């Protein structure tokens, strides 16, 4: 199970690193816009991401 967790973490880091590598200006602009979100907007994005991740995990487990 630890191996699966570490593999998932590694894949997440690879996916997170693609955009800053390929389009750093776009990534910076997007990140700047995200920092202007209200707490409620950030919570909504976090909840949506969490739910989508859970659904995908259940479907492809």
Give domain limits for the chain: 2-60
Which phi and psi angles does 11 have, rounded to 5°? Answer: -65, -40
**pLDDT per residue rounded down to tens, the chain (61 residues):** 899 899 999 999 999 999 999 999 999 999 999 999 999 999 999 999 999 999 998 998 8
This prediction's pTM = 0.70
Residue pair 27/19 in contact by the 8 Å Cβ criterion: yes
The pLDDT of residue 18 is 96
The span from the CA of 44 to the CA of 20, in Å, is: 24
The pLDDT of residue 52 is 96
DSSP 38: -
The pLDDT of residue 1 is 87
Residue pair 27/20 in contact by the 8 Å Cβ criterion: yes
């Amino acid at each position: 199970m630890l191996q699966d967790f570490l593999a998932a973490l590694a894949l997440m880091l690879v996916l997170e690193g693609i955009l800053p590598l390929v389009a750093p200006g776009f990534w910076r602009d997007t990140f700047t816009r995200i920092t202007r979100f209200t707490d409620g907007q950030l919570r909504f994005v976090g909840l949506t991401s969490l739910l989508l991740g859970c659904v995908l995990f259940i479907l492809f487990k």
